[in-house]
Structure 1
Amino acid sequence: MQAYAHTVTERFMRYVQIDTQSDPTANTHPTTEKQKNLSNILAAELLAIGLSDAYTDEYGYVYATIPATSKKQVPVIAFCSHVDTAPDCSGTNVKPILHRQYSGEDIVLPDDTTQVITTAKYPYLTTHIGHDIITASGLTLLGADDKSGVAIIMDMANYLVNNPQIVHGTIKIIFTPDEEVGQGTAKIDIAKIGASYCYTLDGGEAGTFEDETFSADGARITVHGVIAHPGYAKDILVNAIKIAGEIVAALPKNEFSPETTNGRAGFVHPVAINGLAEKATIEFIVRDFITANLSQHEHRLESIAREVLQKHPKASMDFEVWEQYRNMKEILDLHPQASAYAAMAYEQAGLALRNEPIRGGTDGSRLSFMGLPCPNIFTGMQAIHSKHEWIGVKDMEKAVEVLVNLVQVWEQKTI
């Protein structure tokens, strides 16, 4: 691909300027209508590239097909990225800045000079000295999560369509809304995709590859107090808000939480507390790489809460648990070729694949359990969900190369 004039940077710079922030409080699909603005653009651009079946559905999903150039019956491979950006930081009026031939100096973002990107804080920057990088302007996130993945897939499609001598099987493209709020596969049509395997483009440093995520549950404690007029509440009122606070305060201080764990250690994390004196709720997320450990964490959480409730005999509580997603490795271990072929594609691109677990989840977690085994490939995104977000152009271009290699490996390995 040395002679190829990549389009990934130009595409990325355009896409990040389109506000596609999702909304965790909404019950619609997509959670924000503005996500469709980018989805519609992507479908139109795929049609312009030459993918005649590209379209956006009513929920903001984009589907398209790159026809096979091989005469073999190659397994259909899909590539997936999400169009939405996180609610954690503003995604309105993003101003991407291309820093050509980055020299290693501190980067002071112009629209808020208190926002400074340094190699001390982000050592991976040193691997981009002499190369182009992209940042936001200091007031917003950049949107590399996951518009870098979107741009990489679009550039791959552009390359393959314009180089029909590259031999590959049928390739499916999917862009999803609402991944950042846990709804990325809520309305996806697996049958419409029609693929045997999928790869998300939603990872970090060049060379990283992820086929393992947390398994995840949600949990809710509802405390029922006893309400009374505060002026006449002596020996009657049992304040559910105070009991909820006691439960949170009773959680372990030095373990069992995201702020005290790393690596493969799981945790229980209170994410919201709401209510009135009569009834209060605490929302939790429960995470572990070993699915069986989730029930142990949940039993411990419930025991802590019930021990608090023993001090308040007039109060009561409900404890609920629901599944959110599961560790995709449970599925991918049954399909080792998905990871093995990726390793070959990385090697052909001059990269040593570094397999790392994700202390989180991706669309790939749910897709894997929906019958579409789906590990995760790097894009280069760094400092995501923040005003310091940045990405290296060479990483995005290298990811395009990996995808082009990967579809050829699948074709070559098909007998």
Structure 2
Amino acid sequence: MISKEHIIKRFISYVTVDTESDPESTSTPSTANQWDLANALAKELISIGMKDVTIDTNAYIMATLPSNVEHEVPTIGFVSHFDTSPDFTGANVKPRVIENYDGKDITLNAEQNVILSPDYFEDLLLYKGQTLIVTDGTTLLGADDKAGITEIVSAMEYLIQNPDIKHGKIRVGFTPDEEIGRGAHKFDVDKFGAAYAYTMDGSQIGELEYENFNAAGAKVTIKGKIVHPGYAKGKMVNSMYIATDFINALPRMETPEHTEDYQGFFHLQDMDGSVDETVLKYIIRDHDKDHFEARKEVMQKLTEDFNAKYEREVVGIEIKDQYFNMREKIEPVMHIVDIAEEAMKQLHIKPLIKPIRGGTDGSQLSYMGLPCPNIFAGGHNFHGRYEYVPVESMIRATEVICKIAELTAEKHR
């Protein structure tokens, strides 16, 4: 039986280490403090009995649980990331454990009137009677993806302590900088040596995902002309007004707050403006590759139209692809999804197979030759002060890892 207290203690030890990544940094990891948890994880893997524990010069951690069966079994892997999102501060995280959640509002921070309410976050009601770990309302929690790390380490420890559970060789990998899209960039797939792997990086219990967005980033630079406002008639060109027109020219209902499931979007995530120059930063997302390419073309055409209107190059755009839908790489090896689904069913967990409205290390790893679907880690409301994780979901995810390992060995007997 996997101990609830042990899971809680391990998880809290991870989330209280600040590992926020930095998109402006060019180093790997992007922040020095990610090393604090990386080094601690490497030591912990050794202490629980894992073999071949390595941590490279970029803080990528790998370790092995050797096979305990005689017959040939494909090497499988489990992957999570230890950085947290720069969208909200991850410094000085003060997690709080709520036993036997009663289904009512949770006051995270009375002084700032921060309330985690099921009236707004309806998923809370799925976990009535369970143990929740929440924030103090001033930071994110870090369940994305320290819940995944907790589950992988706990599963390996459990398998080591229970050798009657038969399994093949298992590799685990922990990465930096996933939250800024670089988690897999320096992941050595050949060194990892697995036939396939699973990222433990989903949300609600039961999630099983092998589709994700195609993704690109767009930087739109709009040039104005600054002159003294008292003498500006016919001379000043205010780049912020042009930027407003550009924003409004994109489909207003094709934004994150108006889309779901397989619907793609344009998302304005940052803007910095003055009369002289305004910079807009967008992300472009779509599951369908043709629609994805069409969205990029829309932004390119809009740029050309604005320049034609002003009869000069007033708008410049730079679009860079970030990652692609892993479905193309998973479908030829769908048995790996089937094994995960069967593992959940045997544990009486209802599989929720749906597309990821985002990306994981698994999407990039799949294109690097390591097919890598995604499994729930249990957390909710990632990247903000309302983040929480049910402890029971982390326990169930840990059990799923163990069951996948067991079923993989059985099916290759």
> Smaller-chain TM-score range?
over 0.9
Any conservation in 2 of the 1:16–1:143 contact (CA below 8 Å)?
yes
1:308 is matched with 306
CA distance in 1, matches of 2:220, 2:109: 45
Shift of 1:352: 1.9
Equivalent runs, 1:13-412 vs 2, <5 Å: 13-110=12-109, 112=111, 114-224=113-223, 238-253=237-252, 255-274=253-272, 280-412=278-410
Q: 1:52-100 deviations in whole A, cap 9, x for unaligned?
A: 3213222121111111112222111110111111112221111111112
Shift of 1:248: 1.8
Shift in CA distance, 309/161, structure 1 to aligned 2, threshold 3 Å = same
CA distance in 1, matches of 2:196, 2:311: 54
CA distance in 2, matches of 1:115, 1:227: 42
CA distance in 2, matches of 1:142, 1:115: 14
Q: 1:335-391 deviations in whole A, cap 9, x for unaligned?
A: 111100001110111112110111111111101111111111111101222212111
**Match for 2:7: what amino acid?**
V
> Which SS does the other structure have where 2:310 is aligned?
coil
CA distance in 1, matches of 2:222, 2:95: 47
Shift of 1:301: 1.9
Range with bigger deviation, 218-227 or 241-250 = 218-227
* Structure 1 segments unaligned to the other structure (5+ residues): none
Answer yes or no: is 1:7 the counterpart of 2:6.
yes
**Match for 1:203: what amino acid?**
G
Shift in CA distance, 226/342, structure 1 to aligned 2, threshold 3 Å = same
Shift of 1:130: 2.5
CA distance in 2, matches of 1:403, 1:145: 17
* Structure 2 segments unaligned to the other structure (5+ residues): none
Q: Percentage identity across aligned positions?
A: 38
CA distance in 1, matches of 2:38, 2:321: 29
**Match for 2:303: what amino acid?**
A
CA distance in 2, matches of 1:389, 1:378: 15
Shift in CA distance, 98/271, structure 1 to aligned 2, threshold 3 Å = closer
Any conservation in 1 of the 2:51–2:66 contact (CA below 8 Å)?
no
Any conservation in 1 of the 2:378–2:389 contact (CA below 8 Å)?
yes
Any conservation in 2 of the 1:16–1:94 contact (CA below 8 Å)?
yes
Shift in CA distance, 114/277, structure 1 to aligned 2, threshold 3 Å = closer
CA distance in 1, matches of 2:174, 2:127: 28
Shift of 1:10: 1.4
**Match for 1:187: what amino acid?**
K
Shift in CA distance, 234/267, structure 1 to aligned 2, threshold 3 Å = same
Shift in CA distance, 268/138, structure 1 to aligned 2, threshold 3 Å = closer
TM-score by length of 2: 0.93
Q: 1:1-26 deviations in whole A, cap 9, x for unaligned?
A: x4767732210011111111111221
**Match for 2:354: what amino acid?**
E
How many pairs does the alignment contain? 413
Range with bigger deviation, 196-205 or 105-114 = 105-114
> Which SS does the other structure have where 1:298 is aligned?
helix
**Match for 2:46: what amino acid?**
L
Any conservation in 2 of the 1:225–1:314 contact (CA below 8 Å)?
no
CA distance in 2, matches of 1:51, 1:111: 43
**Match for 2:115: what amino acid?**
V
CA distance in 1, matches of 2:220, 2:125: 46
Any conservation in 1 of the 2:216–2:285 contact (CA below 8 Å)?
yes
**Match for 2:382: what amino acid?**
I
> Which SS does the other structure have where 2:309 is aligned?
coil
Shift in CA distance, 154/230, structure 1 to aligned 2, threshold 3 Å = same
Q: 1:86-137 deviations in whole A, cap 9, x for unaligned?
A: 1122211111111122233322125646122223223333332322211122
Range with bigger deviation, 349-358 or 127-136 = 127-136
CA distance in 2, matches of 1:95, 1:283: 32
> Which SS does the other structure have where 2:332 is aligned?
coil
